[in-house]
Amino acid sequence: MRKIAALLLTLMSISCLSKEVLRLGVSLSNPPYCIAESNSGFEVDLIKEVFKESEYDVVFVFATNARLFVQFMDGEINGILNANIDYFQKEYKKPLFETESIVTFQNYGISLKKNSLKIQDIDDLRNLRVNAFQNATNYLGPKFKKMATQNKRYNEIPQQRNQPEYLLRDRADIIISEKHIFTYYLKKFQPKTNRDELFTFHPLFPAEPKAIIFKSRKHKDDFNRYFAQMKANGQVEKLRTIYGLEY
């Protein structure tokens, strides 16, 4: 009996040791989707659940957008969340593989209602103090990039937690942020603030389905297979409710 138990333990140990480590790059600045401090968030929890019974051990690597780009190119990570595949493919000469969409990001121009800014188009930002997330010019299209190049008062920050403060303390006329990310940091900065009474959300950008970019087709296919099972049993919607996602 002891021999059988020992054999089972050995087999279990071998199974654990044989799991492939999957290193996924995650931006430091996008809670509630990914929260570095607690290794959690909607996307992090979703991916943990997707791969829970798989042959992979997932390790999340949190860094700035710029640093993640370098790590991806240097082979330090196997995949990256929420990146622009066209931008990465220009630099990475081998084929890249994108999973099904995990979540939809909706970036906005966000201003204080009391300032009554009339912003209908990206060109309307040209003479304003614009504060955006790091590498926004590589994510938000050529028109936005042109505006940023021509606007001497445009700047980007590596971590978005200060963006609500920038607006409320008149350090920027408008910030560029994903709505849920802005809401998360606003609650941290001023928990009792009524978001919809205080701020105007200018719909300057299309909705963006977000996925994981892998270097391996197998990693992409495996994720999609496990993710389909998770969607079918209702776990994805439960997570959306837990994290208060509006879309």
Tell me the chain's radius of gyration from C-alpha atoms.
21
Helices 42-50 + 217-232 axis angle, to 10: 100
Sorted by where each starts, the structural domains of the chain and their CATH numbers stand as 2-104+209-242 (3.40.190.10), 107-206 (3.40.190.10)
Q: Which residues contact 222 (CB under 8 A, 6 or more apart)?
A: 54, 55, 56
pLDDT the model gives residue 230: 95
pLDDT the model gives residue 4: 53
pTM for the whole thing?
0.83
pLDDT the model gives residue 17: 57
Q: Is 180 helix (H, G, I), strand (E, B) or coil?
A: helix
d(CA 79, CA 71): 10
Q: E strands of 76-235, at which residues?
A: 79-81, 97-98, 103-105, 107-112, 130-133, 154-157, 174-178, 199-202, 208-210, 212-214
Task: Return per-residue pLDDT of the chain as tens, 247 residues.
Answer: 555 544 444 445 444 458 899 999 999 878 999 999 999 999 999 999 999 989 999 999 999 888 999 999 999 999 999 998 998 999 898 999 999 999 999 999 999 999 999 999 999 999 999 999 998 998 899 999 999 999 999 999 988 999 999 999 999 999 999 999 999 999 999 999 999 999 999 999 999 999 999 999 999 999 999 999 999 999 999 999 999 998 8
Strands 56-63 and 20-27 come out as: parallel
d(CA 156, CA 159): 9
Q: Which of 200, 201, 204, 187 is CA-nearest to residue 243?
A: 187
